[in-house]
Structure 1
Amino acid sequence: MFTNNKITKAVRIALIAGVASTSSVAFAADKNESTAEEVERVAVTGSRIQRTDMEGISPITVISREDLEVSGEVSVADVLRDSNFNSFGSSSESSGTGGGQQGIAGVSLRGLGADRSLVLVNGKRVAPSPAAGGGSANLNAIPMAAVDRIEIVSNGASAIYGSDAIGGVVNVILRKDYEGVSVAGAVGRPSQEGGDENQISLVMGVSGEKGSFVMSAEFSDREVIFSRDREYTKSAAGEKWADNTGISSNARNIRHLIDTDGDGGFDRIEWSALEDQCDTSLGFIGVQVREGSQPGTMCGYDYSKIAAETANLTNSSLYARGVYEVNDDVTFNLNTLATRTTSWGRFAPAAGNFNVTGTDMANDSVELADGESVVASRAYWRFTDNGPRDQRTDGSNFDMNMYLDGLTDWGTWTVGYHRNVANITNLGSGYINRPFAEQFAAEGTLTDERSIALMSHTISTFNKTDYASVNAGLGIDSLFTIGGNDVGAYFYAERTETTYVSQADDLSNASAVIGSAGGSAKGEREVTSLAAEFLFPLSDDLEVTLAARYDDFSDFGDNISPQLGATYNINDEWKLRASIGEGFRAPTFANLYSQSEGFPWLFVPGVGWGQYLTKTVGNEDLDAEKSDQFAFGIIGEIVDGVSFTLDYQRIEISDMISYESAANIWSKHQDGITLKPNTSITMIGNLPEELQATYINEGEMRAQFIDFDLRAVQETSFGEFRQNLAISYTLDYSTLEETSNADGETREVLLDQAGLRGLPQYRMNLGLAYIYEDHSITLTAKYIPTQLNRFELNENGTKYIASENDSAVSGQHTKIASYTDLDINYTWQAQDNLRLTVGARNLTNEDPRFRDVAESQYSSSLYSIQGRTVFAGFKYDF
């Protein structure tokens, strides 16, 4: 088997050369650290077979401990958000998000979604977060101080790990070998208001003849950023209603449906502000004239004066790992991790709308001509007297993984037990009891002290997942030989049980709360899994890998995921790899069992845009998504110290679990198309009163990517220079969309959306580092290219650019400008046991890139609103 060549050496050099695919180039290793040639790896993410060659059929990017320390980031989620594999951005802690989601963060590899990106810790699946509907992991439950490195597999790996690994795998490997005591701390201060960061950690470890023990403790917090703290998140009021930006009509207004011809139906819409209730001291902007098809007067509300954009987040964690050598051939391992995450966020006061026909509120606020009558009136009311909606979440996570590892003459074996219990409690004040509100609206007593007290409601949601796994693995060094080379194999079996509970308060379950969405849900899942992997060294230069996994789910069925791959060493400097396989994603608990309520916007002909009650229910008849994947890559060393990887990947997903939204239901209703099962619409005249949405297995996706990674290290008499260029280019990101030809005929086509707004064509990171004796300086540039914001489709479903001259009319830029984020870091090894760091993220204080001319609409998944953040830190080893 070809194991100790220049390719392996080049990859090992890359491990300490830094990772621009995240956010930095690693700091110089300690003076007594081993050289790159001495690094050995016995296992790699994406395979269970131990090997000496570091590059298998799957491309792997490594984020080292040094990369984490010089990044200036305070969480694992922040580091992964900077990766070029985070193609279209990922979710972050957002203020006011209900159901406990406010304090969680995930990663979406390739833009395929957090539910299709598997997260592991020490090679074991991270239990799904209860606040994410039991579908994806919460990265905030993984403490930075405990992390040794992060390995990212950037193609599918369902044949090894099962469900959710369609987009790739993130394996967070925690510390296992450490001796001594280390204290580290850091602070970050944005140049704009809000978002201050603080972090402190302690790591200690001991080792002896029979084993080792490592422990870490960490505390970190990040303050809230209010909407008023950034110019682009503030609302702006103009002289007339049409001139406003970010002003809400859910304030103190009545919408009247008026019958002008006496036929009982409505013929026009008119708005009227409740002038005596539009108090500017409460956040309202006063009464304005509304023109156009729905004229009248309007009272607007400036929610940006009180609402928050991001949540305050506090993390505390304790991690411990013990290894005990039972005998020369057997070791006992115990990993425990306990975290607590709390968050606080704020929404503006609740806003609701309800019928007020026949009340004084309705009749006294509109002038009618002879023969006209009000068919219906609906109040749009902001409950400012009840205060803002404050969300507080308190989450705990306990993870224990114990296992025995054995070594025999013929291979290895392992038997383990993994248990994870996660709880998240969400309390939200400032919400409104809907039945009381409707009663008091009819009585005209909404602002009475008694009414305010009776209407006030605190929502509560308790979320829990309980995950347990029993697993066993058997590695065989040599099943037989081919040409004198050993054929290796690994067999794996696992049984998991997961319970999911999301329990809301009784009023929320009854959909009787204004300003909140969501109800209770629960489910159970048992999975039995069997997997096998074989490594065939057909020659010294050619290896073939065959893997397959069978998963049997108690709640929807079973699945088989095969994979075939090969690597070929062209010579000492060049290597090829390729793989083909199938994957799948199981429905989440939220897909199957959720209940929620919202008010999405819909366009009604003759009426215009409005918000309409939509209830979402889970679909227990869902099947798994299926994927087909192909990957091909080349690894090479151009000259000594300069290496690269170039990889191509194609993914096709069928039976996609998609949300049949209110917009889709309303469109089908208008076109006379039969609605999907479990969806419905209730009409009043020509207005939708209530819609029911759900999840369905209907959708296709085709995606293609090219990844290029170039790393270089030059050692000179006046220091060491390191460079890393990482690019992930999306060749194709096609989803099934509906388009019409010139004759009005509709059909579904796969529309390539790469390059459209929120879906940049590529992500590029460049890292540069200079190291001289005890000093190092790194500069990282993270680039997001221009995106197409306004576009139209021709009859073939191909996008083309809309006129670039209509921005003044539409208020939207045709293209979203490119974005470059510069980070700088200086590190000084002041003493053998003291390291000092200072730097800045977003050095040039770039704002997000905006879709609209007024500069208020941007992608919170792609762009941070922290602004320039100066940070400083230390690490002291005792």
Structure 2
Amino acid sequence: MDNRFGIGRSRVQLPALLSVVLALAATGVFAESDEVLSLDIEPQEAGSALMELGRASGVQIMLAQGNGTEIRVEGLQGQYRFEEALASLLKGTGLAYEFASENTVVVRQAQESPDGPGGGDAEAEVEESEEEEEEEPVELEAQRVTGSRLKGGDPTANVISISAEDMARRGISTMEELFRQMPWTYASNTSQSSRYFSAQPVDVDREISTGDGMGIGVSFANLRALGSENSLVLVNGRRVSGRGGSEYNAVNLVNIPLAAIERVDIDLGSASAIYGSDAIGGVINFITKKRFAGLEVTLREEFSATDADRRVMSVRGGYAWDSGSVTADLSRDESEPVNNRKIWTSMDYRDLLGPEYDRRVATAQPGIVCQQRGGFFASYWLVLPRCASGAPSLQLPPGHSGAGATVDDFTEELAPFDYVPPQNGWVSQSLGVNVRAEQYLGENLIIHAEVLFSEHDAYVEERTFADDYIIGADNAYNPFGYDLAVTYAPFREVESGQFPTANDESVHTMQTVNLGAVWQFGGSHELDVSVTRSESEHESVAWRARYHRTEDEPTAVEFYRILSSPDPNAAFNPFGNGSAQNADFSSFLVPTFDFGGRTVSTTVELVLRGGLLEIWGGPINYVVGFEDRTRKIGRSWSWFADRGRDVLDYWADAYAVSEPKSGLRAEFMELGFPLFGEKNSRPGIRELYVSLQARRDTHTFNGPQGGIERIRGGFEPNAYRAWQPGVGWVDAWGPEYDTLEGTASILDIEKKDTTPRIGLLYKPMDSLSIRAAWTESFHPPLFSQQFSVEDIRMRDFNLLFQDYLHPDRGADEFVLVSLPLIDAPYDPEIRSEYADKFSLGIDWRPESIPGLRWTVDWSQTDFTDKIADASGFTGTHPELIAGNEKVIQRDENGYPISATRGLVNLASKVSEYVETSIQYSFDTSVGRFTPRLTYSEFLREYFRVAEGAEATDRLGTQHGSDRYRLTGQLTWQWQRLAADLFIHYTPGYTNDRPGSCNNVVGRCLTSFQQLPAFDATSLTTVDGSASYWFDNGLRVRAGGRNLFKRESPSPWSFSGILGYDPTRWDARSRVLYLELTWAMRD
């Protein structure tokens, strides 16, 4: 495999990193299992016992104020599930526990009824509890709770928490696979779709794959189909850098090592008041593993029905002492791409979809030839080969080798070539390292440091074409006697290894360093200070059999010699089927495009939290804080142009700054009011809690607004040098580059946004919780939307516009006018994009039916002021844009006088979602069973290009969410054996964007109209897994996804490039896996 970046270079680093992990593990041993825990907890105070259980299980256990310091527990020895261990520890202590999320437990004083058993004792316990509440709180560890910075979290927030064990039970081995399974995500940019998803609607995803021209090595989470740029990704509650060089801060999921993650928290509704911008779709918070002592090694092998196999190795080691700990996680995985030819074998879909659906290519083998264009500008066509005017396109019959061919052997009846691209996805290698250390300095101060590093190297083979080659008259296989323009697909030579394969390569790295300290003081107050620096880099390169060379390229002489050689043993033969090919093609594959990007962000955060005065239901909890963040983006690329390699420093050339720098200052606060609680609860109001949050963000930008004039280049006879067969290097006609004159005007812009949130938790009884919240979210304008070196200027041509508001339109709908056109490359007054978000949740756990739980969660996002390019609407929706004064300017009488082409806050999108789940856990003589059924539905998902426009319904379409999903799960656990079964059902949908017609046939009345829409079928898949812990610390887990190998619901996607839909179906098809985990213990 020929690669520039050296996929596999991380192998050198692996032994050194592995030795560090093993060294940490050598000082202590510990075994961890989320299923059955081997415990040896001695009798001691409740606080320290719970800390020990929390470390053993990986579950966060929080103690409410005043509980645990004077309470002793009996201890535990033996094998326990987590809840069994927790219940046993708390038995008879007067303490009770409650799950704040699936991986967070809050322990507090149990609430007794004055009229219940032991009424007098209960009253005494309440009095004792009140005295204890004045004491210093027990803090087990510095906690990170998604959706709030309050101690203990915000009970009004609806956070979906997925633990590492949950992901393992689902058979997940990458973060992409996790979000592919979730009903509230849309797989717009994944390893299987990112290279093809460049033509999606603007409302679906703007972090498009073509940011580097290739889309290799990237995968993003797109919550609620509102765009990956609107899905905020955090690590331990802190921002990390998005893909290197991208203005949108979308975090590349391939740089999040699964082995280092303890759980993933997702807040779909209301976290912008905590974390600031970019959370319109929601917040994803990756919580890393920590506080581990011992050694754990995991090996995993996955076998895909489409050859997309994966191998994973991870090692975790750590050491803990009385006042601190250090933990290190190291992981490495290798994966193979999807073998497309195990899914479909023909680009001719007519038997499936109709006569219009034929995607066989014109670039063929044997090649298609025509006489090269000549004339006065003949030298221009040397670097842009085209057929001479009126010259027919010709081809040899299928099966002809091209050797000994005559002109009479060629025919104008061209045979389309049926070629299925061999791969999707990429060959990849990933390395992930996470190291965390913390140290208590006395009883009230803890300092911590964490380093997260990841590198992802990807390589993918592309279609290999020899397009637009000029084959000289002297070529040994050319029977025409004149130069030919040739289009050829060397498929046979590529598969035999004779012709080098076109390919793309990329390297994505991310490294994040966090330093912080937490100081507890004054009994219930805490100061949290942290500094985070996150840097991501991205390099990619495309290798192609490019059709021409420049004079100074090392391969030029050999390349052109082969194209025109009279020697059949040396000449390129593009005329036949590849069987008579003798040339050496080592000079044909050259770099055509490369990209480099870098993003660096530095954040300083100060947070003060604690409890204030006591009110009816308990103390008021508060948070006040400050955040200062800077971000720098660098981007450059080079490509092979007609005159040679052009190198562009994107920002310096287009915006007069080498690395745009943006700043943020933010002040935020949270208040939690327990209006009713343990002390004053009454029938019908067991708990009532109100949460108020607010955040003020000030974004600062520095860049150019005009000052530069663009001077258009002309068409010159010596623009560059080109090779002419039989002659050699000659001066060639071509366009000159534009030049820029003047000095850019650099200035500062400041954007301020305030984000409020109101949340409510109401418990009419202990078994029923009701949550409600409202908030606003926003996304500030990008640097490139606010700045440009070029001035706003009048163009030298007019715009024809259908004016639906023209005063003289009379009975007609519109008047056609010609308007002077103003080009506005920037808009200093462009507003942020905003969203109103509402959520409501119900959680019922009836006491009369232990083990039963029913939840309902509803949310709605109204996304407005979306930034769009007005030039796209003046022609497609003139009736909607006519009244927009930023686009169409009018005089005092309403007559249009000019039009402006630029950005405008215009579009909107609505997303309404509901999910309900019911589960029931019960014990039998053969273990515990938990069946669960989850139904999710998008009630609304539509897009408007402008106010008053007809809504475009995205639901159940190619670029929209599924109308609903149904998931059934059955979990069985018996002693050390656990098993899970999942059934996923998604309904059919409409492919309303199948692409354009190629020919006039059937329902295609013109060559470029939209292909007819068609309906895709529903999809039902079954996943399963089972695991067992042995006495020696070995756990075996085995399972599979899509066990019955269900096929894609659609045989066509991305205009027929793929014979399946990777946004709704995992092209790895059936995946079987075996995972071995070995943990050392005393």
TM-score w.r.t. the length of structure 2 is 0.62
User: Aligned in 2, Cα 1:481/1:433: closer, same or farther, shift over 3 Å?
Assistant: farther
Paired residue for 1:544?
Answer: 690
Secondary structure of 2:316's match?
A: strand
User: Aligned in 2, Cα 1:176/1:33: closer, same or farther, shift over 3 Å?
Assistant: farther
Paired residue for 1:530?
Answer: 667
For 1:860, which of 1032, 1038, 1062 is the aligned residue?
1062
CA deviation string 1:347-391 (max 9, x = no partner): 21358679x9xx99xxx999xxxxxxxxxx999776989854311
Partners of 1:591 and 1:347 lie apart in 2 by: 33
CA shift, 1:553, in A, is 1.3
1:491 aligns with 2:624: yes
Instruction: Report the residue type matching 1:414 in the other structure.
Output: D
CA deviation string 1:444-499 (max 9, x = no partner): 99677899958944422111111111111011311x34336322110121111111
1:650 aligns with 2:749: no
Partners of 2:1014 and 2:277 lie apart in 1 by: 39
1:46 aligns with 2:111: no
* Aligned pairs for 1:188-337 within 5 A: 188-192=302-306, 194-231=307-344, 245-249=358-362, 272-275=392-395, 297-298=413-414, 300-305=416-421, 307-337=422-452
Paired residue for 1:765?
Answer: 967
* Aligned pairs for 1:46-195 within 5 A: 46-51=147-152, 56-87=155-186, 90-92=189-191, 99=212, 101-130=215-244, 132-192=246-306, 194-195=307-308
Moved more, 197-206 or 82-91: 82-91
User: Aligned in 2, Cα 1:548/1:674: closer, same or farther, shift over 3 Å?
Assistant: closer
User: Aligned in 2, Cα 1:232/1:149: closer, same or farther, shift over 3 Å?
Assistant: farther
1:721 aligns with 2:721: no
Paired residue for 2:722?
Answer: none
CA shift, 1:849, in A, is 1.1
Secondary structure of 1:528's match?
A: strand
CA shift, 1:166, in A, is 1.1
Instruction: Report the residue type matching 1:780 in the other structure.
Output: F
8 Å Cα contact 2:254-2:456 kept in structure 1: yes
User: Aligned in 2, Cα 1:314/1:855: closer, same or farther, shift over 3 Å?
Assistant: closer
1:636 aligns with 2:751: no
8 Å Cα contact 1:735-1:752 kept in structure 2: yes
8 Å Cα contact 1:134-1:590 kept in structure 2: no
Moved more, 228-237 or 540-549: 228-237
Secondary structure of 2:224's match?
A: helix
CA shift, 1:164, in A, is 1.2
Secondary structure of 2:985's match?
A: strand
CA deviation string 1:524-548 (max 9, x = no partner): 2111111111112222221111111
Partners of 1:823 and 1:724 lie apart in 2 by: 14
The two structures, once aligned, show a CA RMSD in angstroms of 4.8
Paired residue for 2:533?
Answer: 419
Higher RCO, 1 or 2 (CA under 8 Å, sep at least 6)?
A: 1
CA deviation string 1:254-278 (max 9, x = no partner): 899xxxxxxxxxxxx9995342599
For 2:1042, which of 842, 849, 855 is the aligned residue?
842
CA deviation string 1:299-325 (max 9, x = no partner): 5454525x4211112111111000101
8 Å Cα contact 2:909-2:944 kept in structure 1: yes
User: Aligned in 2, Cα 1:553/1:670: closer, same or farther, shift over 3 Å?
Assistant: closer
CA shift, 1:133, in A, is 4.4
User: Aligned in 2, Cα 1:653/1:833: closer, same or farther, shift over 3 Å?
Assistant: same
Partners of 2:692 and 2:667 lie apart in 1 by: 14
CA deviation string 1:104-126 (max 9, x = no partner): 21111112111111111111112
CA shift, 1:592, in A, is 6.9
Gapped regions of structure 1 (runs ≥ 5): 1-14, 17-26, 257-268, 288-294, 367-376, 596-615, 680-691, 740-746, 793-802, 804-808
Higher strand share: 1
Paired residue for 2:129?
Answer: none
CA shift, 1:828, in A, is 1.5
Paired residue for 1:755?
Answer: 956
Partners of 1:387 and 1:235 lie apart in 2 by: 27
Paired residue for 2:636?
Answer: 503
* Aligned pairs for 1:374-453 within 5 A: 387-409=500-522, 410-430=524-544, 432=546
8 Å Cα contact 1:182-1:877 kept in structure 2: yes
Paired residue for 1:743?
Answer: none
Secondary structure of 1:543's match?
A: strand
Partners of 2:543 and 2:963 lie apart in 1 by: 42
Moved more, 407-416 or 70-79: 70-79
Partners of 2:902 and 2:946 lie apart in 1 by: 19
User: Aligned in 2, Cα 1:145/1:850: closer, same or farther, shift over 3 Å?
Assistant: same
Secondary structure of 1:403's match?
A: strand
8 Å Cα contact 2:246-2:597 kept in structure 1: no
CA shift, 1:196, in A, is 0.8
Instruction: Report the residue type matching 1:209 in the other structure.
Output: D
Partners of 1:672 and 1:148 lie apart in 2 by: 50
Moved more, 378-387 or 701-710: 378-387
CA shift, 1:667, in A, is 4.7
8 Å Cα contact 2:161-2:264 kept in structure 1: yes
Secondary structure of 2:970's match?
A: strand
Partners of 1:863 and 1:811 lie apart in 2 by: 22
Instruction: Report the residue type matching 2:286 in the other structure.
Output: V
Partners of 2:414 and 2:870 lie apart in 1 by: 33
* Aligned pairs for 1:460-475 within 5 A: 460-475=594-609
Partners of 1:656 and 1:511 lie apart in 2 by: 39
Secondary structure of 1:426's match?
A: strand
1:574 aligns with 2:768: yes
Instruction: Report the residue type matching 2:302 in the other structure.
Output: G
Number of corresponding residues: 750
For 1:349, which of 452, 461, 464 is the aligned residue?
464
* Aligned pairs for 1:578-727 within 5 A: 578-588=772-782, 622-638=830-846, 639-658=849-868, 667=876, 697-727=905-935
User: Aligned in 2, Cα 1:594/1:125: closer, same or farther, shift over 3 Å?
Assistant: farther
8 Å Cα contact 1:643-1:710 kept in structure 2: yes
CA deviation string 1:661-714 (max 9, x = no partner): 9x86875799999999999xxxxxxxxxxxx99875431111211121223221
User: Aligned in 2, Cα 1:255/1:632: closer, same or farther, shift over 3 Å?
Assistant: farther
Moved more, 271-280 or 639-648: 271-280
Partners of 2:765 and 2:881 lie apart in 1 by: 64
User: Aligned in 2, Cα 1:863/1:617: closer, same or farther, shift over 3 Å?
Assistant: farther
CA deviation string 1:739-774 (max 9, x = no partner): 9xxxxxxx7212332122343102332211112222
Gapped regions of structure 2 (runs ≥ 5): 1-57, 60-78, 89-95, 98-103, 107-142, 196-208, 372-388, 494-498, 573-584, 678-686, 702-748, 790-822, 889-899, 995-1002, 1004-1008
Instruction: Report the residue type matching 2:694 in the other structure.
Output: A
CA shift, 1:225, in A, is 2.0
For the pair shown, which has the larger CA radius of gyration, 1 or 2?
2
8 Å Cα contact 2:343-2:1059 kept in structure 1: no
